[in-house]
Amino acid sequence: MSSFKSSIASMRLAPGQAHKDTLPASTKYQDNFINKPPISPPSSIKKIGSVSDDGAAVENNEQVANKDPVEDWDGGYRFAPIKEHHVARAMTRRYGDDLYRTAISDIVIIGAGSAGLSCAYTLAKERPDLMITIVEAGVAPGGGAWLGGQLMSAMVVRKPADRFLQELQVPYEDEGDYVVVKHAALFTSTILSKVLQFPNVKLYNATAVEDLITVTDPLGSGNLRVAGVVSNWTLVTLAHGLQSCMDPQTITAPVVCSFAGHDGPFGAFSVKRLVATGMIDKLGDMRGLNMRCAEDYIVNATREIVPGLITGGMELSELDGANRMGATFGGMLASGCKAAREAVKLYDSYILDEGEVVGLKKSLKE
DSSP states of 132-179: EEEE-SSSSTTGGGGSSBTTB--EEEETTTHHHHHHHT---EE-SSEE
Angstrom CA distances, 23 to 35, 38, 43, 313, stand at 13, 14, 20, 53
Same domain, 176 and 48: no
What distance in Å separates the CA atoms of residue 89 and residue 86, rounded to the nearest whole number? 5
User: In this structure, is residue 353 part of a structural domain?
Assistant: yes
- Alpha carbons within 13 angstroms on the beta-carbon side of residue 37 total 7
Q: Could you tell me if 115 and 57 lie in one domain?
A: no
State the Cα–Cα distance between residues 310 and 68, nearest whole angstrom: 52
CA dihedral sign, ordered 15, 21, 22, 23: positive
For residues 357 and 140, is the Cβ–Cβ distance under 8 A? no
Same domain for 230 and 159? yes
Residue 71 makes CB contacts below 8 A (sequence gap 6+) with 77
Reference 250, options 217, 274, 226, 225; nearest CA is: 226
Helices (H) and strands (E) in the chain, counts: 12, 16
What DSSP character marks residue 17?
-
Asked whether residue 236 is assigned to any structural domain, the reply reads yes
Last residue of a domain, one of 81, 113, 146: 81
Domain count, the chain: 2
DSSP 245: S
Host domain of residue 43: 1-81
Same domain, 216 and 285: yes
Q: Is the same domain home to 110 and 77?
A: no
Same domain, residue pair 21 and 144: no
- Residue 98 within any structural domain of the chain: no
Exposure class string for 167-196: b at 16+ Cβ within 10 A, else e: eeebebeeeeebbebebbbbbbebbbebbe
The confidence score (pLDDT) of residue 197 equals 98
Asked if residue 348 and residue 241 are part of one domain, the reply reads yes
The gap from C-alpha 14 to its chain's centroid, in whole angstroms, comes to 44
| Domain assignment present for 89 | no
The pTM of the full predicted model, rounded to 2 decimals, is 0.82
Residue 151 and residue 76 share a domain = no
pLDDT at position 309 is 98
Instruction: Classify 186 as helix, strand or coil.
Output: helix
CA R_g for the chain: 27
Residues 341, 209 share a domain: yes
Instruction: Supply the CATH number for residue 267's domain.
Output: 3.50.50.60
Cα–Cα dist 111/208, whole Å: 9
In the chain (366 residues long), the average pLDDT of successive 10-residue segments reads: 46 48 50 54 49 50 66 94 96 97 98 97 98 96 91 96 98 98 98 98 96 94 92 82 68 98 81 95 93 96 98 96 94 98 98 97 69
Kindly give the pairing relationship between strand 309-311 and strand 255-258: parallel
Residue 94 counted as domain residue: no
Q: What is the DSSP letter of 43?
A: T
Note the pLDDT of residue 279. 96
Burial annotation 207-223 (CB, 10 A radius, 16+ → b, else e) = bbbbbbbbeebebeeee
Residue 69 shares a structural domain with residue 167 = no
- The reply to whether 65 and 133 lie within a common domain is no
Write down which residue in 51, 81, 111 finishes a domain: 81
End residue of a domain, out of 49, 81, 113: 81
The reply to whether 348 and 205 lie within a common domain is yes
Omega before residue 160 within 30° of 0, cis: yes
Please answer whether residues 123 and 339 qualify as being in contact, where contact means their C-beta atoms are separated by less than 8 angstroms: no
What residue ranges in the chain does DSSP mark as E strands? 107-110, 132-135, 155-158, 173-174, 178-181, 201-204, 207-216, 224-233, 249-252, 255-258, 287-289, 303-306, 309-311, 323-324, 350-353, 356-360
Cβ atoms of 335 and 158 within 8 Å: the answer is no
Amino acid at 15: P
Does residue 96 belong to any structural domain of this protein?
no
Relative to beta strand 107-110, strand 255-258 is: parallel
Q: What is the pLDDT of residue 214?
A: 97
The verdict on residue 341 lying in a domain is yes
In a domain, residue 88? The reply is no
